[in-house]
């Protein structure tokens, strides 16, 4: 079954077909273009699906129906919104820095594209498989804050600037907890390579094999990653009641759509990283030596496992947003520096001790 669902056969066949009539440099450039187009299409579909899912999840928690009029059960509502955004006139503040104002949304999108490239969607279905995969994702995903700061400063709007400064403080703070919670599992795997981390969970997911420290790390990752993506109840950077729309107050049309899409793309990325590190990624649910049960689980395609786990993580983040009230900025930073970070540091020491004495499953 592993060979049946191995996408490396498909990717190798495409590589060999291109090599039959192109030079090595031509093959490399063509493959880069194909991968880029695939990610662009995936981003577009991802945005449509997640916006619709967010509306329906919020409606569920608020005991209403959500969008129902455009398309069957409102499925075409997000398409109508995309058309509306594309037709809107791009307005730029007269006093804004035009170059930086136009550059900012593209920086955020580029950071999301670069992080997405390292995600292992299934066996053999991964654009980049670095031996420092987690470090790479943490590094490039943090580049998005540069786009937020540029957007807030170049808009020449005090609300945008305040929102950007809040976002900078928030993202830089919570990156520490995200990284440390991931390192808690890296201690057990002994590798930063995402494909190796997935393979190490063939006999069980680290969330369960790592005992209580792994569960604590997972909970901290969930809270910190929600804050890092500027989603409620941590959306202080775009608090409508205080800052109009925060750092993208002055944006409209396609550039506003880029900020909107980047938020959902980043939510998918952090959910995919959490699913990969804690829940086995595309690896099916295996329990020890239960060979019959494990064989049945192997029949489910790995890409279904991956997207199922990511959907579960995304649902938890949406649940947070539509359940808890927004925090104040001082409460937000207090939560990180006085509670999450100290707990994380102690937790990683406990996990190091468990890994040293071999108490994990």
Per-residue pLDDT tens digits for 192-212: 899 899 988 888 888 888 888
| pLDDT of amino acid 238 | 63
Helix, coil or strand: residue 33: helix
Cα–Cα distance measured from residue 109 to residue 102, given in angstroms and rounded to the nearest whole number: 12
Measured CA to CA, the distance from residue 233 to residue 294 in angstroms comes to 39
With 80 as the cut, is the pLDDT of residue 277 above it?
A: yes
Instruction: Yes or no: say if 297 and 282 are a contact pair by the CB < 8 Å rule.
Output: no
Phi-psi region of 111 (alpha: psi -120 to 50; beta: other; left: phi over 0): alpha
Q: Does residue 35 have a pLDDT over 50?
A: yes
pLDDT band of residue 155 (cuts 50, 70, 90) is confident
Whether 211 and 359 have beta carbons less than 8 Å apart is answered as: yes
**In the predicted model, what is the mean pLDDT of residues 221-244?**
77
Q: Identify the CA nearest to 230 among candidates 255, 263, 183.
A: 263
Tokens at 210, concatenated: 């790592």
pLDDT single digits (tens) 39-92: 889 988 998 899 999 999 999 998 898 888 888 888 888 888 888 888 888 888
Give the residue, 341 or 96, on which the prediction is more confident.
341
pLDDT band at residue 1 under the 50/70/90 scheme: very low
Local structure of 288: helix, strand or coil: coil
Question: What is the pLDDT at residue 239?
Answer: 62
pLDDT for residue 241 is more than 60: no
Please state which of the ranges 2-6, 121-125, 131-135 shows the lowest mean pLDDT.
2-6
* Whole-number pLDDT of residue 344: 93
What integer is the mean pLDDT of 147-167? Answer: 85
At 243 the pLDDT is 58
Enumerate the domain spans of the chain. Answer: 91-357
The answer to whether 252 and 90 are in contact (CB under 8 A) is yes
For the segment 274-283, the average pLDDT, to the nearest whole number, is 90
DSSP string, 61-130: HTTS----SSSGGGTTHHHHHHHHHHHS-----TTS-HHHHHHHHHHHHHHHHHHHTT---BTTB-S---
Query: Residues near 255 by Cβ (< 8 Å), separated by ≥ 6?
Result: 90, 102, 105
Instruction: Please report the pLDDT score of residue 74 as a whole number.
Output: 87
Mean pLDDT of the chain: 86
Query: How many other CB atoms sit within 10 Å of the CB of residue 349?
Result: 13
């Amino acid at each position: 079954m592993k060979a049946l669902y191995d996408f490396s056969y498909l990717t190798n066949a495409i590589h060999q077909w291109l090599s039959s009539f192109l030079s090595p440099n031509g093959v490399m450039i063509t493959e880069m273009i194909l991968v880029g187009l695939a990610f662009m299409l995936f981003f577009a579909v991802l945005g449509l699906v997640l916006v619709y899912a967010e509306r329906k999840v919020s409606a569920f928690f608020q005991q209403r129906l959500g969008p129902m009029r455009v398309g069957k059960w409102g499925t075409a509502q997000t398409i109508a919104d995309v058309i509306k955004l594309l037709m809107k006139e791009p307005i730029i503040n007269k006093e804004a820095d035009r170059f930086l104002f136009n550059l900012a949304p593209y920086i955020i999108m580029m950071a999301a594209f670069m992080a997405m490239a390292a995600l292992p969607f299934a066996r053999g279905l991964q654009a980049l498989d670095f031996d420092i995969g987690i470090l790479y994702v943490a590094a490039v995903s943090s580049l998005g804050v540069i786009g937020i700061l540029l957007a807030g400063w170049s808009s020449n709007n005090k609300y945008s600037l305040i929102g950007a400064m809040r976002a900078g403080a928030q993202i830089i703070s919570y990156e520490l907890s995200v990284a440390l919670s991931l390192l808690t599992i890296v201690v057990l795997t002994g590798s930063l390579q995402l494909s190796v981390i997935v393979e190490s969970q063939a006999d069980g997911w680290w969330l369960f094999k790592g005992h209580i420290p792994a569960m604590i790390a997972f909970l901290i990752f969930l809270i910190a990653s929600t804050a890092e993506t500027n989603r409620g109840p941590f959306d202080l950077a775009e608090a409508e009641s205080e800052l109009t729309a925060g750092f993208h107050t002055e944006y409209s049309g396609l550039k506003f759509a880029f900020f909107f899409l980047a938020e959902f793309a980043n939510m998918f990325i952090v959910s995919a990283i959490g699913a990969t590190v804690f829940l086995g990624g595309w690896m099916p649910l295996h329990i020890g030596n239960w060979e019959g049960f494990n064989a049945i689980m192997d029949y489910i395609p790995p890409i279904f496992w991956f997207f199922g786990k990511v959907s579960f993580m995304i649902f938890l983040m949406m649940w947070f947003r539509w359940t808890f009230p927004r925090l104040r900025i001082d409460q937000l930073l207090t939560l990180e520096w006085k509670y999450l970070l100290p707990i994380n540091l102690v937790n990683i020491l406990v996990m190091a001790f468990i890994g040293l004495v071999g108490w994990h499953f």
